[in-house]
């Protein structure tokens, strides 16, 4: 059978399955949970990518209400992941019905027509609380959507709910003591990563195909890596970060989680307003830069799976170029922590006042969970152990940060690389509460195992794309990251499409679910 014939057959099979799912929902088959009899129908909808789901709803193969019903039923099935802080099914279904009414009336349909999108609970939404994952903001209801949410809604998206996070986005585990720990869909005894752990868990569990996350130092990329999905942190300032619970405006950046690159492209097209077509970036001949310091001290399975992925890329024609980034460790040591620890308090004070939270910074920290309160007490007051002086901050912002960005600009020019490639984290998902962690028989601080490789990209403001590349013997995802030159977002996403064709996507959690 020709390739065209095969695609046509698959298309009709998928359409038939979708129609069967819609019929099952119309008959009430999914209204009260799952059974083995209707699992296949449910999967036909929840397994759709965002691009596929929107196309099906626009064509009328399914209604927005039927699609939302299936996703909400999946959320019930996976409620033990504790991935949502706020989820109001009736509101989601009413928004879906409104989308169906608009289609029936012949309205112009947006690029995200009818698509329920979960949103990290640090991004302001007008119809759901924005808690920042912290007790003092539990009842804070913003007056308006953040610009990124308004853009998504204008394109036809529905806000599905607000996802659980590491409290105040200040960590990489999503072990939230106020709202409960988020659990990894591939192994619920393990972390999903943070701080956008809830969004990553929702996407990995097939509760939604596309979600809003946010990244200051790895908070999109770490959860994507540990949950085996695709994550994209764009060049800093590519998307508006207004009305998002902040850490530092120099590093903060919202971005998407998805299960494939095409859905990341869809998100970028809508949110960035990208009108230019995606460039053609073939993998054959593409130069990928490697700094071997990113590969030191890896978990043996992470090292083996990463090496196998690089061999696949080479076999497909990619050219690996090895060159260290000059002064990288020194410059990261002089910038990353200094900027974040200095900026977070004044940034939060401005946010609390600007959006009428009626909560002071002092009240916010006093009400925070003990782990977060202890962290803030260690650096906010003058004279505290790691307080950042104004002189150290000014040197970081005005001297070392520009130097770091210039170093990367020269490195990409000298290597001719379209992207740097490296393992996102040194380890796969760890057990909840595990610190330190074992790497090859050595005890390593959790923060070093997670943060070492992801700090430079967000500090330098580079676009970063995380793609899954395999599973460990325990069935835990391993991923690699591709960081491109500043401003190369569309080229990096196009490269990601080519890479994904070689590396594939991971099987869903549980093997047969989704």
The crossing angle, in degrees rounded to 10, of helices 328-354 and 401-415 is 130
CA angle 431, 432, 434 (to 5 degrees): 65
C-alpha 69/C-alpha 34 separation (Å) is 12
Active site residues: 120, 195, 219
Question: Residue 278 in contact with residue 262, Cβ under 8 Å?
Answer: no
C-alpha 194/C-alpha 209 separation (Å) is 19
For β-strands 230-233 and 287-290, DSSP reports them as unpaired
Token couple for 85: 């802080």
| Phi, psi torsion values for 487, nearest 5 degrees | 90, 0
Identify how many contiguous H helices and E strands the chain contains and give both numbers: 18, 15
For β-strands 230-233 and 253-258, DSSP reports them as antiparallel
Token couple for 305: 């799976």
C-alpha pair distances (Å), 57 with each of 228, 384, 481: 27, 55, 33
C-alpha 155/C-alpha 58 separation (Å) is 13
Token couple for 244: 């998002």
C-alpha 216/C-alpha 267 separation (Å) is 19
Question: Residue 185 in contact with residue 81, Cβ under 8 Å?
Answer: yes
Token couple for 317: 């024609």
End-to-end CA distance of the chain: 28
C-alpha pair distances (Å), 435 with each of 204, 411, 430: 24, 34, 9
Burial bucket for residue 155 (CB in 10 Å: 0-12, 13-18, 19+)? buried
Whether cis (ω within 30° of 0) applies to the bond prior to 508 is no
């Amino acid at each position: 059978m020709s390739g065209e014939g095969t695609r046509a057959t698959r298309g009709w099979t998928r359409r038939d399955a979708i129609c069967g799912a819609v019929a099952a929902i119309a008959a009430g088959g999914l209204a009260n949970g799952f059974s083995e009899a209707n699992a296949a129908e449910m999967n036909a909808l929840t397994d759709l990518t965002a691009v596929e789901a929107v196309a099906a709803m626009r064509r009328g193969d399914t209604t927005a209400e039927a699609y939302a019903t299936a996703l909400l039923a999946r959320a019930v099935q996976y409620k033990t992941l504790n991935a949502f802080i706020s989820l109001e099914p009736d509101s989601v279904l009413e928004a879906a019905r409104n989308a169906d009414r608009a289609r029936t009336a012949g309205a112009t349909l947006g690029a995200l027509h009818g698509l329920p999108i979960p949103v990290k609970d640090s991004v302001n939404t007008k119809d759901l609380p924005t808690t920042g994952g912290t007790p003092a903001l539990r009842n804070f209801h913003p007056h308006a959507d953040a610009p990124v949410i308004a853009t998504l809604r204008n394109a036809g998206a529905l806000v599905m709910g607000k996802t659980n996070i590491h409290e105040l986005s200040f960590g990489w585990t999503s072990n939230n003591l106020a709202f409960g720990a988020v659990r990894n869909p591939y192994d619920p005894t393990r972390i999903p990563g943070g701080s956008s752990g809830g969004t990553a868990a929702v996407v990995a569990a097939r509760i939604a195909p596309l979600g809003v996350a946010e990244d200051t130092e790895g908070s999109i990329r770490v959860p994507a890596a540990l949950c085996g999905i695709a994550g994209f942190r764009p060049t800093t300032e590519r998307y508006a970060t207004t009305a998002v619970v902040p850490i530092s405006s120099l590093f903060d950046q919202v971005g998407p989680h998805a299960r494939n690159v095409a859905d990341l492209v869809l998100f970028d097209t809508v949110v960035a307003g990208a009108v230019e077509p995606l460039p053609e970036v073939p993998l054959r001949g593409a130069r990928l830069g490697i700094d071997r310091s990113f590969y030191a001290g890896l978990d043996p399975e992470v090292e083996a799976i990463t090496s196998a992925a690089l061999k696949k890329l080479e076999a497909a024609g990619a050219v690996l170029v090895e060159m260290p980034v000059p002064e990288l460790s020194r410059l990261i040591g002089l910038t990353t922590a200094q900027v974040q620890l200095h900026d977070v308090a004044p940034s939060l004070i401005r946010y609390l006042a600007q959006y009428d939270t009626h909560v002071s910074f002092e009240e916010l920290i006093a009400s925070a969970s003990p782990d977060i309160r202890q962290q803030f007490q260690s650096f906010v007051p003058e004279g505290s152990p790691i307080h950042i002086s104004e002189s150290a901050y000014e040197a970081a912002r005005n001297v070392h940060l520009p130097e770091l960005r210039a170093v990367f600009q020269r490195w990409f020019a000298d290597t001719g690389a379209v992207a740097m490639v490296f393992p996102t984290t040194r380890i796969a998902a760890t057990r909840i509460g595990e610190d330190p962690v074992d790497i090859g028989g050595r005890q390593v601080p959790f923060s070093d195992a997670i943060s070492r490789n992801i700090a430079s990209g967000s500090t330098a403001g580079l676009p970063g794309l995380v793609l899954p590349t395999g599973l460990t013997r325990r069935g835990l995802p391993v991923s690699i990251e591709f960081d491109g030159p500043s401003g190369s977002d569309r080229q990096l996403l196009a490269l990601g499409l080519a890479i994904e064709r070689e590396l594939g996507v991971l099987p869903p959690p549980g093997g047969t679910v989704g």
